[in-house]
Amino acid sequence: MSILKFKTILPKLPSGFLKNTLLPTKRVPLKILCKYSSGSNLQIQENEHYDRPKLLNVHLPNTSEPLKLHPIWLRDHCRCPECYNDVTCQRNNDILKLSDQIAISTYSQSDGLLHICWSDGHKSSYSIPWLVSNTYDGKYKALQEETDRLTTWDGTTVNLLGLEPISHQRLMSDDKILREIYRRVFQYGFVKIEQVPPTKLDTSAVIERICRMSHTVFGKFWETGTNFDHKDTGYLNGYLEAHTDNTYFTEAQGLLVFHCTHFNGTGCESFLVDGFHVAKQLKQLDPSAYDYLSNVNMESEYIEPGEHFSSWGPIFRHHPVSHKLEQIRFNMLDRSPLSSIPQEEVGTHYRYLKTMATLVKKKENEYRFRLSPGTVMIIDNWRLLHGRESYQGERVLRGCYYSRSDFMSKARHYGIIS
Ligand SMILES: [Fe+2]
Ligand SMILES: [Zn+2]
């Protein structure tokens, strides 16, 4: 029987690194040296070329610090037609054919390009700005800057942002406004489009103009107030506390679109809460609660005849590289039975959850408004929580979801994110 023996060597950690092991931290590479016993087909050996490589120093303008690049990374990222298909934007090379012994024979830098002749005779040229933005430090910096561009708000400061609604006429006639819509959603978490004729046809035209609708268990284009098609409290007229949707999907839908096309009654004030603002408040008020809710998974579920969705995750999800807050999953109504922690930890769990719920329900954090016929709202479901007061009378709310992948793809296309 073959046995793989692993010896893990932790690199020297920055001081204070282990003060709080729950905190998301900057990546610290693990070096794993593997030994193998005879009889195994998989022979993993220490490879000096991988583990202790001679990094190539690329001189960068305006800084004395060179860009250090591993030869294997460079060879794997060759963008010549043999290695990379410019039409499909996919790699052509087979990672198993990437030689462990590949070495740089000669290299030179000129006019913003790095030229390399490899030991096997292959030649590569790279744009130096491309190298900077596609390696760890450059990507890390870009992701940090993207997050720094977000403007968080509360119920008072949201009114000082000067966000004039976008008119229906401009949306339908000016292609340039699309980028502005994506920028606002990314920066503030929502955008309003006004003077939209309150018909099904006009609502769906506005929706399709911005991004493709997502098809979920609720259909593509849903309608509440006229039916009880789905067994969800959103289809009833009671009070709805602030929440995010789809905590029970493996990937919650990224954006929500609402258009109240008819209202003849009383009550029904809507409100939004900036979850990223609440996260900041919680981090300040009780850092251990923030750490706990960033690390402990909770299960959520949605059940209707013929369906049973379930997904696990923490309330705060962070980006895997930047470690910045990326998503809030907060829906107290869709929680499954709490089975992710032993009973001994239940007390702590409820204490932290209640601290968070108290901040979410703070009146000062709520942006209140009335969704009236003619106003289409696009809301970031990974950042904002939405809710509404109970109502009496008739109300028709139409809308859809955009998937996170679809919306972010367009945001990347418009240059809003990298
Ligand atoms: Fe909802
Ligand atoms: Zn190549």
pLDDT at residue 1, as a whole number: 34
Nearest bound ligand to the CA of residue 116 = 2
Q: State in Å: Cα 294 to ligand 1 middle.
A: 22
Percentage of residues of the chain with pLDDT beyond 70: 86
Asked if pLDDT for residue 263 goes beyond 80, the answer is yes
pLDDT at residue 18, as a whole number: 35
pLDDT at residue 116, as a whole number: 97
Asked if pLDDT for residue 400 goes beyond 50, the answer is yes
What is d(CA 293, CA 345) in angstroms, rounded to the nearest whole number?
13
Q: State in Å: Cα 381 to ligand 1 middle.
A: 9
Instruction: Let me know if 334 is exposed, middle or buried by CB neighbors in 10 A (0-12, 13-18, 19+).
Output: buried
| Close Cβ partners of 13 (under 8 Å, ≥ 6 residues apart) | 28
Q: State in Å: Cα 296 to ligand 1 middle.
A: 23
pLDDT at residue 49, as a whole number: 62
Mean pLDDT of all residues in 235-246: 91
pLDDT tens-digit series, residues 292-324: 999 999 999 999 999 999 999 999 999 999 999
Nearest bound ligand to the CA of residue 78 = 2
pLDDT tens-digit series, residues 56-99: 999 998 889 999 999 999 999 999 999 999 999 999 989 999 98
Q: State in Å: Cα 398 to ligand 1 middle.
A: 12
pLDDT tens-digit series, residues 354-372: 999 999 999 999 999 999 9
Q: State in Å: Cα 241 to ligand 1 middle.
A: 9
pLDDT tens-digit series, residues 117-167: 999 999 999 999 999 999 999 999 999 999 999 999 999 999 999 999 999
pLDDT at residue 46, as a whole number: 54
Q: State in Å: Cα 82 to ligand 2 middle.
A: 5
Q: State in Å: Cα 234 to ligand 1 middle.
A: 6
pLDDT at residue 11, as a whole number: 38
Q: State in Å: Cα 94 to ligand 2 middle.
A: 12
Nearest bound ligand to the CA of residue 98 = 2
Nearest bound ligand to the CA of residue 253 = 1
Nearest bound ligand to the CA of residue 397 = 1
pLDDT at residue 47, as a whole number: 58
Mean pLDDT of all residues in 384-400: 94
Instruction: Give the confidence band of 232 by pLDDT, cuts at 50, 70, 90.
Output: confident
Mean pLDDT of all residues in 23-47: 44
Nearest bound ligand to the CA of residue 122 = 2
Q: State in Å: Cα 386 to ligand 1 middle.
A: 6
Nearest bound ligand to the CA of residue 85 = 2
Q: State in Å: Cα 29 to ligand 2 middle.
A: 28
pLDDT at residue 344, as a whole number: 97
Asked if pLDDT for residue 37 goes beyond 50, the answer is no
Nearest bound ligand to the CA of residue 83 = 2
Q: State in Å: Cα 39 to ligand 1 middle.
A: 57
pLDDT at residue 8, as a whole number: 34
pLDDT at residue 171, as a whole number: 98
What is d(CA 42, CA 210) in angstroms, rounded to the nearest whole number?
50
Residue 88: φ, ψ to 5°: -90, -10
Parallel/antiparallel/unpaired status of strands 166-167 and 190-194? parallel
The DSSP element (H or E) to which 110 belongs, if any, is strand 104-110
Q: State in Å: Cα 141 to ligand 2 middle.
A: 28
Q: State in Å: Cα 126 to ligand 2 middle.
A: 10
pLDDT at residue 23, as a whole number: 40
In this structure, is the dihedral angle defined by the CA atoms of residues 184, 190, 193 and 197, taken in order, positive or negative? positive
Nearest bound ligand to the CA of residue 245 = 1
Nearest bound ligand to the CA of residue 379 = 1
The DSSP 8-state label assigned to residue 45 in this structure reads -
Nearest bound ligand to the CA of residue 74 = 2
Asked if pLDDT for residue 19 goes beyond 70, the answer is no
Q: State in Å: Cα 123 to ligand 2 middle.
A: 6
pLDDT at residue 22, as a whole number: 38
Nearest bound ligand to the CA of residue 230 = 1
Q: State in Å: Cα 118 to ligand 1 middle.
A: 56
On average, the pLDDT of the chain sits at 88
Q: State in Å: Cα 31 to ligand 1 middle.
A: 45
pLDDT at residue 48, as a whole number: 61
Report DSSP letters for 351-395, one per residue.
HHHHHHHHHHT-GGGEEEE---TT-EEEEETTTEEEEE--EEEEE
Which residue has better confidence, 406 or 26?
Answer: 406
pLDDT at residue 226, as a whole number: 58
pLDDT tens-digit series, residues 316-345: 999 999 999 999 999 999 999 999 999 999
pLDDT at residue 101, as a whole number: 85
- For helices 176-188 and 404-413, the axis angle rounded to 10 degrees is 120
SS3 per residue for 140-179: HHHHHHHHHCCCCCCCCHHHHCCCCCEEHHHHHHCCHHHH
Residue 130: φ, ψ to 5°: -65, -40
